[in-house]
Copies of this chain bind each other. A is one copy, B any other.
Amino acid sequence: MLDHDPPVTAVREAVTRALEEDLTPLGDLTSALLPPGTATEARIVARDAGVLAGRACAAETFRQVDPSIACDWRAADGDRLAPGQVIGAVSGPLAGLLTAERTALNFLGHLSGIATRTRRFVDAAGPDLAVWDTRKTTPGLRALEKAAVRAGGGANHRGGLSDWVLLKDNHLVALGIDEAVARARRRWPARTVQVECDRPDQVMAALDAGADAVLLDNMSPAEVTRCVALAEEHAAEHRTRRGLVEISGGITLETIGTYAGTGADRVSSGSLTNSAPVLDIGLDIG
């Protein structure tokens, strides 16, 4: 199992579902017209520059359509792709290749689009400000999309509500920071407890309450710099590791560089997964 690979169970189930929606109920009307037994070869080719993700899904698509189709991969998830670069070769019956083509490319295009956008954020953020995804994923595809973020050089924030505690304003209104963090520590020990902060004074309150991390929402680079300084003060005073500082809220490829020197540890963006245009990948047959 490669590092970037999504769980095998997620791959199998997503491919079955995608084929069902494309083939139900009558199958591929057009490929059914082809003479049986015509074998062919095809190449999966990047039409644009980007980063590959979704290879396991494409391979599983060909396998489920026809186990006699062979795949010979020339790139792996996470590899940078140049326009025209051959990602892999597939060979087998023409009808099966054409039936599987669009579903395989839909996976590759969607997931490589996410990996490519992630890579651009990672490069723009620079080495000191790492890039996190969010829970703003396409419904039903979280496992695959989070693997694509990893392929693009990003890292995974919470996999879901069940991973760690993230206290947002609405939780805090009901409980107050001190009580909320204390409850979280008691209930969910050894899990990250993170507090969303809209103002610098909340950062100190969160760290005083014992939060592991803060999420600075919609702050300017200057405000972020100030919050990081507060967090360092807090660490020095309490002789402990500095709380992790994540920034979020409308940060774009254009503005991300202005946060590079703020000392923040992490930048997260829902746009990695919910607004990445597809990477154009095609199948050249024959």
**Chain A residues in the interface with B (C-beta under 8 A):** 1-3, 5-10, 13-36, 38, 57, 64-66, 93-96, 98-99, 102-103, 105-107, 109-110, 113, 130, 132, 135-143, 146-147, 150, 155-157, 159-168, 170-171, 173-175, 180, 183-184, 187-192, 194, 212-213, 239-241, 244, 265-266, 270-271, 274-275, 277-278, 285-286
Give the Cβ gap from A141 to chain B, nearest Cβ, in Å. 7
* A161-B278 contact given A65-B8, A106-B138, A191-B192, CB 8 Å threshold: no
Nearest-CB residue, chain B, relative to A163: B163
Nearest-CB residue, chain B, relative to A188: B29
23 A-B contacts (beta carbon < 8 Å): A1-B31, A2-B36, A3-B33, A5-B27, A9-B24, A14-B139, A21-B25, A22-B135, A25-B143, A30-B168, A31-B171, A105-B136, A109-B274, A110-B274, A132-B189, A140-B140, A141-B141, A150-B187, A170-B285, A190-B213, A239-B240, A241-B241, A274-B278
Q: Which of A36, A160, A184 has the most CB of B within 10 A?
A: A160
Other than A9-B20, A22-B160, give 12 A-B pairs with Cβ distance below 8 A: A3-B187, A7-B20, A7-B23, A15-B139, A23-B161, A25-B142, A25-B146, A26-B147, A30-B184, A106-B135, A138-B141, A141-B141
Q: Please give me the 5 A-B residue pairs with the lowest Cβ-Cβ distance, nearest first.
A: A275-B277, A18-B139, A7-B23, A239-B239, A26-B162
Q: Cβ of A162: which chain B residues have Cβ within 8 Å of it?
A: 7, 22-29, 159
Q: Cβ of A35: which chain B residues have Cβ within 8 Å of it?
A: 174-175
Q: Cβ of A143: which chain B residues have Cβ within 8 Å of it?
A: 21, 24-27
* A32-B3 contact given A110-B139, A140-B140, CB 8 Å threshold: yes
Whether B161 contacts A27 by the Cβ 8 Å rule is yes
Question: Complex: how many Å from CA A113 to CA B136?
Answer: 13
